[in-house]
Amino acid sequence: MGIYLSTPKTEKFSEDGENGRLRYGLSSMQGWRATMEDAHAAYPDLDPPTSFFGVYDGHGGKVVAKFCAKYLHQQMLKNEAYAGGDIGTSVQKAFFRMDEMMRGQRGWRELAVLGDKINKFTGMIEGLIWSPRGSDSNEQVDEWAFEEGPHSDFAGPTSGSTACVAIIRNNQLVVANAGDSRCVISRKGQAYNLSRDHKPDLEIEKERILKAGGFIHAGRVNGSLNLARAIGDMEFKQNKFLSAEKQIVTANPDINAVELCDDDEFVVLACDGIWDCMSSQQLVDFIHEQLSSESKLSTVCERVLDKCLAPSTAGGEGCDNMTMILVQFKKHTLSNASVDDQSSPSKSADLEPKQEESTPK
């Protein structure tokens, strides 16, 4: 079997939910791809004042995306910076924590379970690609303490995943992104990117890749990976003389924080299977059009997926896995929201009118 099916799988996983502050809908579809490697997380009530949404686009396998969907929000909550109200720092550390947790015996076992590699008859884990190179087991603390076993020196997965998450607390929105999944906000119908696509040819990415000993060929890191930042992909993170932020590929997310206002209508998080087919403004316009006659947000997401799905695999675009989360704000909540000192993120940004594909400062 190649990377594409003979006919697309158009069955969708969809979900809706809401609380007093917002409502959301999501949908994901395998499409033409031979396997489904996307994952997502939607927790409208992560804690009383906080909502968390994330999309994870896996490559080389589904396990890292599924691992992030299961653990990233948990690790953000556990970080001491979160308790102090520093959302930006806590989510950044959670991104790096994913790579730490996926190493060693415990990490190998968890990835194997998420990858369905346990033989149903023998109960044995089988088939996961791993590297014999060692890892820093001393970094693993709490319940992920180092465990002895045949894969104690597991350096982490060779597969990887993008991660784009949005955390909403009162009228603060914090976005963290590594990779080319994207978060966009609609303010008075205008699309503003709250994340940047981390492609290898961006100057800041190229500089880090070359300094770390990597190279770029045909727009790909070391000729293979078309992303400059990702969780996992441990073969690109083997330089023991460099920090995690300075590796050829890094999990270090861009952090962007904005203060929501009554002009803000909704936020969209989606993997590149959507953005390959529609620009940020085109998607915002399409959502507005759909919301004029459809109130169920997951149905709007499903229509986006159907619109993006290619009629054949001849062109490439519209043939990827697709996942989209649509979060709509309830207006009265934004008007009345009060932000105390404990809820302010460490970094902030304001939206300014500019070109559709630009990233707010």
DSSP symbols for 314-340? SSSTT-S-EEEEEEEE-HHHHHH----
For residues 352-361, average pLDDT: 37
pLDDT at 333: 55
pLDDT at 143: 66
pLDDT digits over 255-298, tens only? 999 999 999 999 999 999 999 999 999 999 999 999 999 999 99
The interaxial angle of helices 87-101 and 104-114, nearest 10 deg, is 90
Q: b or e along 212-246 (b: 16 or more beta carbons within 10 Å of the residue's beta carbon)?
A: bebebeeebbbeebebbbbbbbbbbbbeeebeeee
pLDDT at 334: 57
Whether 307 shows a pLDDT value over 90: the answer reads yes
Whether 134 shows a pLDDT value over 60: the answer reads no
For residues 214-236, average pLDDT: 96
pLDDT at 144: 73
pLDDT digits over 91-122, tens only? 999 999 999 999 999 999 999 989 866 444 44
Q: What percent of the chain has pLDDT over 70?
A: 83
**CA distances, 272 to each of 49, 119, 308, 314, 337 (Å):** 30, 33, 11, 18, 33
Tokens 């209508």 sit at which residue? 265
pLDDT digits over 57-88, tens only? 999 999 999 999 999 999 999 999 999 999 99
Q: b or e along 260-288 (b: 16 or more beta carbons within 10 Å of the residue's beta carbon)?
A: beeebbbbbbbbbbbbbbbebbebbebbe
For residues 8-24, average pLDDT: 96
Lowest mean pLDDT of 32-36, 100-104, 161-165, 330-334, name the range: 330-334
Take residue 350 and report the two structure tokens written for it. 């304001």
DSSP symbols for 196-210? ----TTSHHHHHHHH
Q: How far apart are CA 85 and CA 342, in angstroms?
A: 4
Give the N- to C-terminal CA distance of the chain in Å, as an integer: 45
DSSP conformational letter for 144: G
With bands split at pLDDT 50, 70 and 90, how would you rate the model's confidence at 196?
very high
**Domains of the chain, with CATH numbers?**
4-102+157-197+256-343 (3.60.40.10)
Rg (CA), the chain: 20
DSSP conformational letter for 229: B
